[in-house]
Amino acid sequence: MIDPGTDHPTGGARLEDGDEVGRVIVSEADLQARIAELGATITADYRGRPPLLVGVLKGAFMFMSDLSQAIRLPCEVDFMAVSSYGSATRTSGVVRIVKDLDLDLLDRHVLVVEDIVDSGLTLSYLQRYLLARQPASLEVCALLVKEGQQRTALDLRYVGFTIPADFVIGYGLDVAERYRNLPAIHVYDGPRG
């Protein structure tokens, strides 16, 4: 999808259909290295109590896949989908559960796998929602945290990268359902929704 022969001097790239994406914030190599580190830490922390990984769709699907492979324990996975963006580039602040979990959380060691935390309002809502199901423990592993954007106090056990407050795409993150398949995290320089 990316034509490496037409990379921009600013670190952006031109896609085969002519679209241009902004500079790389986190490279593919850095993503994979950090995910391996997170997997090793989670393996050590959850030894003897295999976690139930709860991926937050759609943005976390690539991260969830790679992270689950980096965890050297038997673990189960489930997914839920929440919406607070729609097709816009700013959160609406209104959280909707679009797809709920299939598995029971009672007395399970739950690890929420999230793609990005900006205001923190969606994640805070999600944590309260999941804690009501009485898991034995509930922790969060967020791939990206936007620096200085949180409007609520969050307890994030595992964090991949702290990034600037730019709107980003790639590695599962989208704008209007596009660009999820980019292998790195890029700044989105296109039109705002």
* Spatial CB neighbours of 84, under 8 Å, sequence gap ≥ 6: 91, 92, 93, 94, 95, 96, 121, 122
pLDDT computed for residue 12 by the predictor? 61
In a domain, 139, yes or no: yes
Mean pLDDT of 37-42: 98
pLDDT computed for residue 189 by the predictor? 83
* Spatial CB neighbours of 105, under 8 Å, sequence gap ≥ 6: 52, 130, 133, 134, 135
* Spatial CB neighbours of 106, under 8 Å, sequence gap ≥ 6: 133, 134, 135
Comparison of pLDDT for 121 and 164, the residue scoring more: 164
In a domain, 188, yes or no: no
In a domain, 116, yes or no: yes
In a domain, 67, yes or no: yes
pLDDT computed for residue 3 by the predictor? 41
* Spatial CB neighbours of 149, under 8 Å, sequence gap ≥ 6: 118, 119, 120, 165
Catalytic residue among 7, 66, 100, 118: 118
In a domain, 88, yes or no: yes
Q: Are 39 and 67 in contact (CB under 8 A)?
A: yes
pLDDT computed for residue 13 by the predictor? 62
How far is it, in rounded angstroms, from Cα 163 to Cα 118?
10
* Per-residue pLDDT reduced to its tens digit, 52-73: 999 999 999 999 999 999 999 9
* Per-residue pLDDT reduced to its tens digit, 111-133: 999 999 988 888 888 999 999 99
Which candidate, 42, 109, 114, places its Cα nearest to that of 79? Answer: 114
In a domain, 162, yes or no: yes
Q: How many CB atoms lie within 10 A of CB 148?
A: 9
Confidence of residue 193 (pLDDT cuts 50, 70, 90): low
Q: How many CB atoms lie within 10 A of CB 44?
A: 10
The mean-pLDDT minimum among 67-71, 75-79, 130-134, 154-158 falls in 154-158
How far is it, in rounded angstroms, from Cα 6 to Cα 14?
6
Question: What mean pLDDT is reported for the chain?
Answer: 86
Confidence of residue 82 (pLDDT cuts 50, 70, 90): confident
In a domain, 190, yes or no: no
Expressed as residue numbers, the domain containing 164 is 59-176
Which candidate, 139, 136, 132, 130, places its Cα nearest to that of 111? Answer: 139
Residue 9 has pLDDT above 50, yes or no: no
Q: Is 100 a catalytic residue?
A: no
Q: Are 160 and 42 in contact (CB under 8 A)?
A: no
pLDDT computed for residue 95 by the predictor? 79
pLDDT computed for residue 10 by the predictor? 44
In a domain, 79, yes or no: yes
Mean pLDDT of 37-55: 97
Query: Number of structural domains, the chain?
Result: 1
Q: Give the CATH number, domain containing residue 113.
A: 3.40.50.2020
Residue 175 has pLDDT above 80, yes or no: yes
Tokens of 24: 């790389």
Residues in the chain, overall count: 193
